[in-house]
Amino acid sequence: MFEGLSNLAALWKNARQITGRLQALNDELREKRVTGAAGGGMVEIECNGLLEVLRCRIDPQLIAQGDREMIEDLVASAVNQAVQKAKQIHAEAITGLTGGIELPGLREAINRFTGETPPPE
């Protein structure tokens, strides 16, 4: 009976350490920045490592042209590029959290998250 309690205490301690590491990882990812651009830099989107869009910059000349559809397409393209970059730094951070230990299913989960296709075996 007491052995079970010591195992439970060890599990609780590990869970608290993991929670602390995840919180630190979130804080780190919140500070990382990536930029997606489209239209030769006429539209730029900045995201953090948590996939939050922080800034959108549209060149005033593009707005002056008044081509709403082009602006919408460029914004969507820049957002997609920024999100893909943010997913990549997020995936790298998660991989770093494991300390290089290959956990079953982790690589597949990261590939699904980032939208990457795994290399052929």
At 50, which CATH number? 3.30.1310.10
pLDDT digits (tens, 9 = 90+) for 20-77: 788 888 899 999 999 999 999 999 999 999 999 999 999 999 999 999 999 999 999 9
Within a domain: 121: no
- At residue 39, the 3 state secondary structure works out as coil
Distance CA 25, CA 104 (A): 21
Within a domain: 27: no
Looking at the structure of the chain, the number of domains it has is 1
Within a domain: 37: yes
Range of the domain at 108: 32-114
pTM (predicted TM-score)? 0.71
Within a domain: 9: no
- The DSSP code for 52 is -
**pLDDT average, residue stretch 80-105:** 82
